């Protein structure tokens, strides 16, 4: 089975440009998470969805960040306008709720964003 | 505030010796803990987990110990192998009541041949 698929793997853009990161979760998973990896904060949760509905977006750093999940197999994380401090690796992860709770998260390979 | 802390950014160990990676947490409500391993340019992959009803869980060369009173867990790798060189993330959650996984900042392990 395919794992979590993210695109693009690398994105280099200039400050002020719009950036869209994409994620396809594992089929059958009902939770989707967006994380950002930085040296200072490690893996930081930005937002997560349950059955395509955003549940907690308190980790989204600013209004410049937005995320959508129009269906069970696709999610986007958008940054508009982008700034150099947004440079990081962004991970998408999915999971399913089983009796007893989530067992583990399955991560994609990440999207490395560089904003010049 | 970081609810899960990994205070050692890096660790070097000789091949064949034991690697011990440490993790501290602040929220006493956490009841489920995980370790993830991450190679460069790849996503983190699940390694081992432990529920708060246990104080030890073992899987091959990997053992996780949980000390609830100290709010501390550790990952032991014995014997360490060069292929174990990676970044290790500790994570915690409230498994039955919450959906968030809180991650530490990671420890970069280098196993020297």
Q: Which residues pair with B22 in a beta bridge?
A: B74
Q: Of the candidates A42, A45, A109, which has its C-beta nearest B106's C-beta?
A: A42
Helix H, strand E, coil C: the string for chain A is: CCCCEEECCEEEECCCCCEEEEEECCCCCCEEEEEEEECCCEEEEEEEEECCEEEECCCCCCCCEEEEEEECCEEEEEECCCCHHHCEEEEEEEECEECCEECCCEECCCEEEEEC
Contact B9, B105 (CB under 8 A): yes
Nearest alpha carbon to residue B101 among A86, A89, A34: A34
Contacts of B49 in chain A (CB under 8 A): 103-104
End-to-end CA distance of chain B: 37
Q: What is the pLDDT of residues B20-47, one digit of tens each?
A: 999 999 999 999 999 999 999 899 999 9
Give Dmax (Cα) for chain B.
Answer: 44
Looking at the complex, report in whole angstroms how far the Cα of residue B13 sits from the nearest Cα belonging to chain A. 22
Residue with structure tokens 């002020």? Answer: A16
Q: Of the candidates A41, A103, A110, which has its C-beta nearest B105's C-beta?
A: A41
Q: What is the pLDDT of residues B40-81, one digit of tens each?
A: 989 999 999 999 999 999 999 999 999 999 999 999 999 999
Distances A65 to A68, B62, B95 between C-alpha atoms, Å:
11, 38, 28
Q: How confident is the model at residue B96 (pLDDT cuts 50, 70, 90)?
A: low
- Dihedral, A108, A41, B87, B54 alpha carbons, nearest 10: -90
The encoded tokens of residue A46 equal 């930005």
Q: How confident is the model at residue A96 (pLDDT cuts 50, 70, 90)?
A: confident
Residue B58 sits in which domain range? Answer: 4-112
Closest chain A residue to B3, measured at CA: A41
Which domain CATH number covers B71? 2.60.40.10
pLDDT at B4 over 70: yes
Distances B14 to B47, B79, B80, B111 between C-alpha atoms, Å:
21, 9, 7, 6
Output phi, psi for B71, to 5 deg: 55, 55
B46 at interface of A, judged by CB pairs closer than 8 A = yes
| Helix, strand and coil in chain B, % to nearest 5 | 5, 55, 45
Burial of A64-84, coded b for 16+ CB within 10 Å and e otherwise, reads ebebebeebeebebebeebee
Q: Do A105 and B46 touch (CB under 8 A)?
A: yes
Cα B56 to chain centroid distance, Å, stands at 13
Contact residues, chain A to chain B, C-beta under 8 Å: 4, 31, 33, 35, 39-45, 48, 50, 55-56, 91, 93, 97, 100-110
Closest chain B residue to A33, measured at CA: B100
Predicted pLDDT of residue B97: 65
Pairwise CA distance, residues A75 & B86, whole Å:
28
The encoded tokens of residue A47 equal 């937002």
Residue with structure tokens 């073992």? Answer: B58
Q: Do A33 and B49 touch (CB under 8 A)?
A: no
- Per the structure, the count of domains in chain B is 1
Predicted pLDDT of residue B79: 97
């Amino acid at each position: 089975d395919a794992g979590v698929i993210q695109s693009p793997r690398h994105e280099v853009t200039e400050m002020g440009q719009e950036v869209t990161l994409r994620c396809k979760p594992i089929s059958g998973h009902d939770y989707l998470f967006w994380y950002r990896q930085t040296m200072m904060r490690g893996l930081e949760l930005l937002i997560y969805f349950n059955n395509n509905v955003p549940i907690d977006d308190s980790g989204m750093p600013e209004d410049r960040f937005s995320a959508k999940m129009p269906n069970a197999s696709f999610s986007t994380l958008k940054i508009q306008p982008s700034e150099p401090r947004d440079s990081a690796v962004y991970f998408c992860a999915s999971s399913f709720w089983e009796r007893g709770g989530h067992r583990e998260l399955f991560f994609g390979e990440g999207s490395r964003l560089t904003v010049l | 505030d970081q609810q899960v802390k990994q205070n050692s950014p890096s660790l070097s160990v000789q091949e064949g010796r034991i690697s011990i990676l440490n993790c501290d947490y602040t929220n006493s409500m956490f009841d489920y803990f995980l370790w993830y391993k991450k190679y460069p340019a790849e996503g983190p992959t699940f390694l081992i987990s432990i529920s708060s009803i246990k104080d030890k869980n073992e899987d091959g060369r990997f053992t996780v110990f949980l000390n609830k009173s100290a709010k501390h867990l550790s990952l032991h790798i014995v014997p360490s192998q060069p292929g174990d060189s990676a970044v290790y993330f500790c994570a915690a959650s409230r498994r039955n009541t919450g959906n968030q996984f809180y991650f530490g900042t990671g420890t970069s392990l280098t196993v020297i041949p």
